A and B are shown apart, each in its own frame.
Chain A
Amino acid sequence: MMLSKQIENFLRALGKPLVAFLMSLGKLSVFIVRAVYHALTPPIYFKNFIKQVLEMGFYSVPVVGLTTIFAGMVIALQTYSGFSKYGAESAVANVVLISVTRELAPVLSALMVAGRIGAAMAAEIGTMKVTEQLDALVTLSTNPFKYLFAPRLWAGLCVLPLLVLFGDVIGVFGGYVVGVYKLGFNPANYINSTIENLEAIGIISGLIKAAVFGFIISLMGCYNGYKSKGGAQGVGQATTNAVVSASILVLIFNYLITEIFFAK
């Protein structure tokens, strides 16, 4: 008798968060379907899209540049110290190229943009929600999904690949700087080795990752802002959730996409 009660309580404790999780998953799915539908149907608010592109893209350039250059530099250093044991120092250029274009530039850029833009998006939309600005949009015959969310989703999708392409170049350059000036490689040899190892699949997979990450960042920013409740506290919560969920999803999808491209 006691045991069955305990089991019941245990299942209850287990069930409540599970139901809550499934419900939020359901809400998110509905949100995604609505957002994608409205992103693909007119009217399209082109001006809002351009504004978001500038906000997400242009102003993120310094952050992405700094992140990737140091990533490239540290990889060059680590690879050298690790590989010199096997006399494989010549692999430095190749390792830098592969790690930067396939992994470091897309993932690190996405995490930085998630912190910078995902948070700002959730805070802005969350504030609009709690101050009834979203309702005001509807009463002015304007769909918030089209006016606010669609431009952000498109911007995320388009801008991240451009940022990552830029990050690729800067990251590889960072590796070159360390390789040549610190580790004493011949500049011409380093460049040749980089060009020889350049392969389309590495770059392209990195850019596809970037597009997916950009979409995820915008989606989490919009979704968490849209469902925020209450006042300042609710908006703060939404901001945290947007950054955390976007970052985790970026890492998960990074693995999945890598598996699709490179698992043999």
Chain B
Amino acid sequence: MSDIKISIRDLKKSFGRKTVLNGVDLDIEQGESFVVIGGSGAGKSVLIKCIQGLLTPDSGSIQIDGVETTDNSNFNQKDMHAKMGMLFQGGALFDSLSVWENVAFALLENQKTPRDLAKVEAIRVLRQVGLAPDVADLYPSELSGGMQKRVGLARAIITKPEIIFFDEPTTGLDPIMADVINDLIVESAKGLGATTLTITHDMASVKKIADKVAMLYQGKIIWQGTVKEMEKTDNPYVVQFVSGSAQGPIKVEV
């Protein structure tokens, strides 16, 4: 019996009349690399934002380390974020700050680390994600897409978080760069012993990084299992998604 790090029960979220999450149940174990797949607009991003408290769910429960996060009275969102890191889809780097200030943001602003120490630490983590020290003084706009992803990853892992979220980490990258980022994700998560939750629709990425996979469709988790089970399943939705076929039960709304 391993520990459950994140536990979600009957999570619901609507925007206006549009129901995005319609009763999501999910258990993510300590140290596990969990991947949620699903088409565009299936609610993957909304799910991840609800877990992080960036969106407030309409109903349902989200427990992190057994603490209910949807109930504001007895928990501190700041403490929760302190043990989380997130790699955003577009990087979401602060363009008014230099690369190293981005990476060291949490150290500078929250832990009040002196600037020179923070910079040394930032450069160390940048090297860990394969970036040379001279990148540190550049600004995000001067970097390529792949480099921005690396900087985003460095910013997410510098505080040694217990949980790391990856929002479509390989979207917009060429296949080789995508593979490099996948390797880095696996490496850094294993290095920290962190629990990770990734949302993606890139099957190559899933096969590389996932311990467990769940498929989100029409606001519900319709299938979950290991990567091996995913390849063997006869669930028509999963089969269609994995093979990337236009034919099947999933209808693309045009």
Contact = CB atoms under 8 A, between A and B. Distances in A.
Nearest to B85: A139
B54 A135 contact: yes
A142 B109 contact: yes
A82 to B, nearest CB: 50
Contacts of B96: 124
A138 B105 CA distance: 12
A141 B159 CA distance: 11
B84 A139 contact: yes
A136 B110 contact: no
B113 to A, nearest CB: 14
B105 A140 contact: yes
B237 interface: no
B78 A131 contact: no
A139 B90 contact: no
B92 A135 contact: yes
A133 B155 CA distance: 13
Given A135-B49, A136-B94, A141 B106 contact: yes
B77 to A, nearest CB: 8
Interface residues of A, number: 15
Q: Identify the interface centre among A124, A140, A147: most chain B CB within 10 Å of its CB.
A: A140
B139 interface: no
Contacts of A137: 94
Interface string A105-121: 00000000000000000
Interface in A209-235: none
A222 to B, nearest CB: 15
B150 to A, nearest CB: 15
Contacts of A133: 92-95
Nearest to A45: B109
A132 interface: yes
B92 A131 contact: yes
A132 B90 contact: yes
Q: Identify the interface centre among A45, A128, A136, A138: most chain B CB within 10 Å of its CB.
A: A136
B52 A139 contact: yes
A98 to B, nearest CB: 42
B86 A142 contact: no
A132 B89 contact: yes
Contacts of B85: 139
Contacts of A140: 81, 105-106, 109-110, 155
A56 B99 CA distance: 25
A135 B110 CA distance: 16
Interface string B73-92: 00000100110111011101
Nearest to A132: B92
Contacts of B89: 132
Interface in A78-105: none
Closest 9 CB pairs of A and B: A136-B92, A132-B92, A141-B81, A139-B86, A132-B88, A141-B78, A133-B92, A140-B106, A141-B110
